[in-house]
Amino acid sequence: MNIQLGRSKVVRRAYGIDEIALVPGSRTVDPEVTKTNWTIGGIEREIPIIASAMDGVVDVNMAVSLSKLGALGVLNLEGIQTRYANTSSVLEEISSVGKNDFVQLMQKIYSEPIQKELIRTRIVEIKAKGGIAAVSGTPAAAIKFGEIISKAGADIFFVQATVVSTEHIGPKGREILDLKKLCLEMGIPVVIGNCVTYEVALQLMDAGAAGVMVGIGPGAACTSRGVLGVGIPQATAVADCAAARSDYEKKTGRYVPVIADGGIVTGGDICKCIACGADAVMIGSPIARAEEAPGRGFHWGMATPSPVLPRGTRINVGTTGNLERILRGPALLDDGTHNLLGALKTSMGTLGARTLKEMQNVEVVVAPSLLTEGKVYQKAQQLGMGK
């Protein structure tokens, strides 16, 4: 439904994850028989969760642990892991600095040049320890380091920026990334993001993307929406890009997974994103709370260290348990942030969905009061959904 914003502008209403609810159908399924497997770039995973390519979330050991637990972790190849051979003291400094000095410290730390040899080293380390080497870089990094990444044996490459498009206008004399050429010549699957519209998702799929990431600005540590004023609430963005995936498959026969990236904190959030059409989710802050996370209880966005316009901050997420407890349980917390796989399987069972494909087709309603209705005591006592 279009709404007239003013005489010169007609707008469309968009919805966030917190504004919708999932509707049970006429059947239920035992959670034990639900199947949550999905595939991206020829790699099959049991858990449709990808840990964000953020320095407080994924390092080599975390990438390996996520792989072994059935999920996927993406290593940021433009972060501290490729700027410093020994990252322990750097991470300690980031976690101990005060709020007022944080931005300046990050700009200083991330001004250290990226070392090509460390890119190779980190990929080799993940593979040697039995992990899936999923790595991430900006379009500029794809141009500069693409050959190194491929030759080092990476399994899948994520090209990430605040906004990615196939039509980019840049300064004269500066090389511009040709996404279609990258997908053809990289030698490994290339996942591209981020986007929030049907048209751009379709263009990225047509360029050869092995997956498309959806989400601009909803992340817990991201401030792009406040700094830039851009983005579409995640429920609408995912549904639009999922429509592009369906139309693209009908046209070409190729299925391109859609990954909801950002604003996802609880098991319920994951369930809603999949019901809106996502094949998987990319999450940062929930994984940053793991005992094994490199951030020491802190989480910060990828754009935080920008030397000219930081669009992110550092948040204290705390440490609530080990990675296995967060992903597979058993849960110790009552707020939906532990046993994310169990939450998904139970929701699927309640909704009568045996597979993720069936979960994508459950009924969704607009429900602004879903998280507040009847929760007076939880809110007052800061328990469960009132935290």
271 is catalytic: no
The owner of tokens 């099959």 is: 44
The 8-class DSSP code of residue 150 comes to H
Helix, strand, coil percentages for the chain (3-state, nearest 5): 40, 20, 45
Q: Which of 195, 222, 241, 273 is catalytic?
A: 222
* Bridge partners, residue 73, by sequence: 51
222 is catalytic: yes
Interatomic CA distance for residues 152 and 19, integer angstroms: 44
Interatomic CA distance for residues 142 and 201, integer angstroms: 19
Rounded to the nearest 5°, which phi and psi values hold at 142?
-60, -40
Can you count the helices (H) and strands (E) in the chain?
A: 15, 16
Q: Which two tokens stand for residue 35?
A: 């199947």
Do 246 and 256 form a contact (C-beta atoms < 8 A)?
no
What string of DSSP letters covers 194-246? Answer: EE-SHHHHHHHHHTT-SEEEE-SS-STTB-HHHHH-----HHHHHHHHHHHHH
Q: Which of 120, 311, 325, 328 is catalytic?
A: 325
Question: Which residues are known to be catalytic?
Answer: 222, 325
